[in-house]
């Protein structure tokens, strides 16, 4: 009997295992849904799961990205700082400026790898089907420009290419400044998002008030600081004041760019990070200011006028530490009617009682005498002792 039970239990266990195995093969685990858009990772962590597909480009700015085994990025990957760990497939190129790149055993890069001052770690089995470029893809070597002389013609004058070289150098330097201020704007928003949001909102709510305060600060504050520097004793305070004024101007410029970025994107700003909005807006106004600076008779006027909006907002919000207009929660005093309309409790007495009055005592004595007469305890003849009742005729 025991042997029969053992055989039956073994058959039942085999049946259960067979059913579970068939169910597992019949219902495989569905892969995660694909991402059908470009992905920007700024100072955060992003993980592309196993067998997940990213149908777009991937940009990493100071963040951390993990591409798991079997994942696919159908576009290009750009990294500026941060960490990129790849164990899947990248169908495009990788462009890295700083940061670290780790290619694990299952990593496949179908395009090329442009490595500009970044750290590359490639494991055995990792494949890079394209080329690896470890320097800049362009060079500024203009060489020497000469004009060939023809026989029988006078030799032309030597051509000086110094102005052209200066123009290209100034142009590249302007681009570098524009990109630097945009990157600074993104960094400031990442470090102080609430303060920058407060300053940007103030610029959008009352722009002309901010511009007026900024104009007043631009003239009054430097004059006061110059006076402090002239006194020699307070010259350190004057130098610190100029440094604070410069920081306030730059911070206001970034907040203005943040507000412009939000207004340009409009209702779709929820799909973008605040740092990206600040970078886009700051990039636009900086380009406008740089282009207007090259126009004769305008020069720096446009950039200075735009900076006054941000400077005034920074002054009014005190570097974004409070809202403007200010909101106060005033406590209203109670009205006099509430103070004097409350009735006193019934047990309370304004004056203490000193004892019964004379009228109360006489009334109590009469009531007690009448009660004794009614019960026969007191003779009515006792009243004859009263001289006023003994001789009524004499009274008449």
Chain segment 196-235, per-residue pLDDT in tens: 999 999 998 888 898 999 999 999 988 888 888 887 777 7
- Bridge partners of 133? 114
For helices 235-265 and 162-191, the axis angle rounded to 10 degrees is 80
Q: Are residues 176 and 129 in the same domain?
A: no
Q: Are residues 207 and 123 in the same domain?
A: no
For helices 193-205 and 301-317, the axis angle rounded to 10 degrees is 110
Domain range for 116 is 39-133
Q: Are residues 200 and 114 in the same domain?
A: no
DSSP label at 118?
-
Tell me, what's the pLDDT at 102? 92
Using only C-alpha atoms, the chain has a radius of gyration, in whole angstroms, of 47
Q: Are residues 232 and 302 in the same domain?
A: yes
Tell me, what's the pLDDT at 248? 92
Q: Are the C-beta atoms of residues 255 and 314 closer than 8 Å to each other? A: yes
Length of the chain: 396
Q: Is residue 346 one of the residues assigned to a domain?
A: no
Q: Are residues 312 and 181 in the same domain?
A: yes
pLDDT digits (tens, 9 = 90+) for 122-167: 898 899 998 888 754 444 454 554 545 545 444 445 555 455 556 6
d(CA 304, CA 5): 94
201: Cβ contacts below 8 Å, ≥ 6 apart: 259
Q: Are the C-beta atoms of residues 275 and 183 closer than 8 Å to each other? A: no
How far does CA 340 lie from the centroid of its chain? 50
Q: Is residue 255 one of the residues assigned to a domain?
A: yes
The residue from 75, 108, 133 where one domain ends is 133
Q: Are residues 313 and 176 in the same domain?
A: yes
d(CA 218, CA 216): 5
Q: Is residue 78 one of the residues assigned to a domain?
A: yes
Q: Are residues 78 and 178 in the same domain?
A: no
d(CA 144, CA 159): 10
pLDDT digits (tens, 9 = 90+) for 88-105: 999 999 988 878 899 999
Q: Is residue 362 one of the residues assigned to a domain?
A: no
d(CA 89, CA 111): 10
Lowest mean pLDDT among 13-22, 26-35, 346-355, 364-373: 346-355
d(CA 243, CA 320): 18
The residue from 107, 133, 159 where one domain ends is 133
More confident position, 44 or 367: 44
Q: Are residues 100 and 189 in the same domain?
A: no
More confident position, 284 or 335: 284
Q: Are residues 302 and 178 in the same domain?
A: yes
d(CA 298, CA 106): 58
Q: Are residues 123 and 248 in the same domain?
A: no
Could you give the maximum distance between any two Cα atoms of the chain, in Å? Answer: 183
Tell me, what's the pLDDT at 163? 57
pLDDT digits (tens, 9 = 90+) for 149-158: 545 444 445 5
| % the chain with pLDDT above 70 | 65
d(CA 339, CA 154): 111
Q: Is residue 253 one of the residues assigned to a domain?
A: yes
Q: Are residues 88 and 176 in the same domain?
A: no
The residue from 287, 317, 347 where one domain ends is 317
* Structural domain count, the chain: 2
Q: Is residue 156 one of the residues assigned to a domain?
A: no
Q: Are residues 292 and 233 in the same domain?
A: yes
State the residue for tokens 């090259």.
294
Tell me, what's the pLDDT at 89? 93
Res. 265 pLDDT band, cuts 50 70 90: confident
Rounded to two decimals, what is the model's pTM? Answer: 0.45
Q: Is residue 61 one of the residues assigned to a domain?
A: yes
Q: Is residue 331 one of the residues assigned to a domain?
A: no
Picking from 286, 313, 314, the residue whose alpha carbon sits closest to that of residue 300 is 286
How far does CA 85 lie from the centroid of its chain? 28
- Bridge partners of 42? 61
Tell me, what's the pLDDT at 274? 85
pLDDT above 50 (res 269): yes
């Amino acid at each position: 009997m025991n042997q029969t039970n053992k055989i039956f239990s073994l058959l039942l266990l085999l049946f259960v295992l067979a059913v579970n195995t068939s169910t597992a093969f019949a219902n495989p685990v569905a892969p995660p849904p694909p991402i059908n858009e470009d992905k920007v990772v700024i100072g955060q962590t992003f993980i592309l799961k196993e067998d997940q597909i990213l149908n777009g480009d991937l940009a990493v700015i100071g963040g951390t990205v993990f591409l798991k085994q079997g994942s696919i990025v159908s576009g290009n990957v750009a990294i500026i700082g941060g960490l990129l760990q790849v164990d899947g497939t990248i169908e495009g190129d990788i462009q890295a400026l700083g940061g670290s790149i780790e290619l694990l055993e299952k990593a496949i890069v179908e395009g090329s790898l442009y490595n500009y001052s970044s750290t590359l770690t490639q494991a055995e089995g990792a494949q890079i089907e394209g080329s690896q470029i470890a320097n800049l893809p362009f060079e500024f070597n203009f060489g020497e420009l000469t004009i060939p002389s023809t026989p029988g013609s006078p030799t032309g004058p030597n051509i000086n290419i110094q102005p052209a070289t200066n123009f290209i150098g100034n142009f590249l330097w302007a681009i570098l400044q524009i990109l630097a201020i945009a990157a600074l704007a993104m960094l400031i928003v990442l470090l102080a998002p609430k303060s920058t949001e407060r300053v940007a909102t103030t610029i959008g709510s009352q722009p002309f008030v901010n511009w007026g305060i900024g104009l007043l600060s631009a003239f009054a504050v430097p004059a006061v600081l110059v006076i402090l520097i002239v006194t020699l004793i307070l010259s350190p305070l004057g130098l610190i004041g100029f440094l604070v004024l410069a920081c306030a101007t730059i911070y206001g410029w970034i907040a203005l760019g943040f507000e412009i970025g939000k207004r340009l994107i409009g209702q779709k700003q929820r799909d973008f990070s605040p740092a990206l909005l600040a970078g886009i807006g700051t990039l636009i106004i900086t380009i406008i200011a740089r282009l207007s600076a090259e126009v004769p008779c305008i020069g720096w006027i446009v950039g200075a006028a735009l900076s006054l909006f941000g400077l005034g907002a920074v002054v009014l919000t005190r570097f974004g530490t409070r809202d403007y207009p200010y909101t106060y929660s005033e406590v209203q005093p109670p009205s006099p009617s509430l103070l004097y309309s409350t009735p006193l409790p019934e047990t309370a007495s304004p004056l203490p009682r000193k004892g019964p009055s004379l009228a109360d005592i006489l009334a109590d004595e009469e009531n007690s005498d009448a009660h004794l007469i009614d019960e026969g305890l007191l003779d009515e003849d006792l009243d004859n002792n009263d001289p006023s009742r003994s001789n009524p005729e004499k009274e008449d």
